[in-house]
């Protein structure tokens, strides 16, 4: 056991040097199990001619991070001879996940991290998905508090845009940044935040990147209220919005909700985070017992629908915060990761 702990410790120390873990995003919801067909009872988008290939945001393949915490842990477990647990974590490590960028990276490291992921994605012939998470007053003082000052934030977005320019990467802009605004702890934040988000959309879109804004989730704001915030944040100049990031709502519930939001913002495209929604909402947003991995990520782009992809934005195994035995937000939570896998596959964690 001591040998295994030492090996895991070394692996995660290496991970900290390569890609410091982001804070976990805050309050939310939950969704569905394995890959099943999804119907839509939300408003039907107007018919459109076949989209040209250039209209695709995601191409044909999603990027799998070869240096993710899950990959390092799975490899360390295998090297230590713990084949059973290695197989559990492999179910996470083998799947595409988003790359989170935030104020935990200095300017030089930010550029280095982005370039490393872009090279790896190019080698895979895949599209990389990045998440920006450095808005001023991030999480409005919650477990993931932090972010830059307003002036620093726009300069930081310019650096991100310059590093990603020409890559055709996808950027999910600031989870929770809009849906959280009506909460009491975010009082007075909107006046500064909304113009910053509009500027961020413009900066990133000008670099040829597909951008998506925060669409909350089906249990949070009404479609009308969420649409109002999206319009104020510049969704007209973005490809669309994302829903359910770091949350747990069932995929069909999110699909229906997102369709209603899309109908209110000019039929914009959307993506859904299905990383941990295999058992739907179980009553808590922070490392909830009973949660399970959702279906594996997939590109769903089609001329007939506005749903572009089902993604793993939140990294399964990354803690939401110090609750239910978890470490600080964003840190690797081994027992939580294993529970997510077992929740989807059935069976027992064992010893």
pTM of the model: 0.87
Q: In DSSP terms, which residues pair with 271 in a beta bridge?
A: 242, 309
Please give the pLDDT value at position 32: 32
Residue 124: CB atoms within 10 A of its CB come to: 15
Work out whether the CA dihedral 4, 5, 10, 16 comes out positive or negative: positive
Residues serving a catalytic function are 139, 176, 320
Could you tell me the CA-to-CA distances from 344 to 66, 85, 188, 293, 313 in Å, in that order? 23, 15, 41, 6, 18
For 256-293, what is each residue's pLDDT tens digit?
A: 999 999 999 999 999 999 999 999 999 999 999 999 99
Strands (E), 91-159: 99-102, 129-133
CB contact at 8 A, 207 and 171: no
φ, ψ of residue 69 to 5 degrees: the values are: -60, -40
What is the Cβ-side half-sphere exposure of residue 284, based on CA atoms within 13 angstroms?
10
Please give the pLDDT value at position 11: 44
Please give the pLDDT value at position 347: 63
Question: How, if at all, do strands 307-311 and 298-299 pair?
Answer: antiparallel
- Closest by CA to 13, choosing from 308, 256, 231, 332, is 332
For 212-239, what is each residue's pLDDT tens digit?
A: 999 999 999 999 999 999 999 999 999 9
- Closest by CA to 126, choosing from 57, 172, 52, is 57
Q: Which residues of the chain have pLDDT under 70?
A: 1-54, 347-351
- Closest by CA to 239, choosing from 215, 222, 217, 274, is 215
Please give the pLDDT value at position 55: 79
């Amino acid at each position: 056991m001591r040998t295994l702990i030492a090996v895991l410790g070394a692996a995660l120390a290496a991970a900290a040097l390569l890609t410091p873990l982001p804070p976990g995003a805050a309050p939310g919801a939950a969704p569905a199990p394995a890959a099943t067909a999804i119907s839509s009872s939300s408003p039907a988008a107007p018919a459109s001619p076949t989209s040209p290939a250039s209209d695709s945001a995601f191409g044909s393949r999603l990027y799998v991070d070869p240096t993710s915490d899950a990959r390092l842990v799975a490899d360390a477990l295998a090297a230590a001879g713990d084949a059973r647990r290695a197989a559990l974590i492999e179910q996470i490590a083998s799947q595409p996940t988003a790359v989170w960028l935030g104020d935990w990276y200095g300017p030089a490291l930010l550029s280095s991290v982005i370039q490393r992921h872009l090279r790896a994605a190019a080698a895979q012939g895949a599209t990389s998905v990045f998440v920006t998470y450095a808005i001023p007053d991030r999480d409005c003082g919650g477990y993931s508090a932090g972010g830059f000052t307003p002036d620093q934030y726009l300069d930081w977005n310019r650096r991100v845009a310059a590093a990603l320019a020409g890559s055709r990467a996808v950027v999910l802009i600031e989870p929770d940044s809009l849906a959280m605004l009506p909460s009491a702890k975010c009082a007075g934040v909107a006046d500064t935040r909304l113009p910053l988000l509009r500027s961020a959309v413009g900066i990133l879109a000008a670099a040829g990147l597909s951008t998506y804004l925060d669409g909350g989730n089906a249990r949070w704001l009404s479609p009308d209220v969420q649409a109002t915030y999206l319009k104020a944040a510049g969704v007209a100049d973005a490809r669309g919005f994302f829903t359910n990031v770091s949350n747990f709502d069932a995929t069909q519930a999110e699909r229906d909700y997102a369709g209603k939001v899309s109908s209110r913002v000019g039929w914009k495209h959307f993506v859904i985070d299905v990383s941990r929604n295999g058992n739907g909402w179980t009553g808590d947003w922070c490392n909830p017992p009973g949660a399970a991995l959702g279906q594996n990520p997939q590109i769903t782009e089609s001329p007939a629908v506005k749903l572009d992809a089902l993604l793993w934005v939140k990294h399964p195994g990354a803690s939401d915060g110090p609750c239910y035995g978890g470490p600080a937000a964003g840190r690797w939570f081994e027992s939580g990761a294993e529970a997510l896998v077992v929740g989807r596959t059935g069976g027992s964690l064992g010893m």
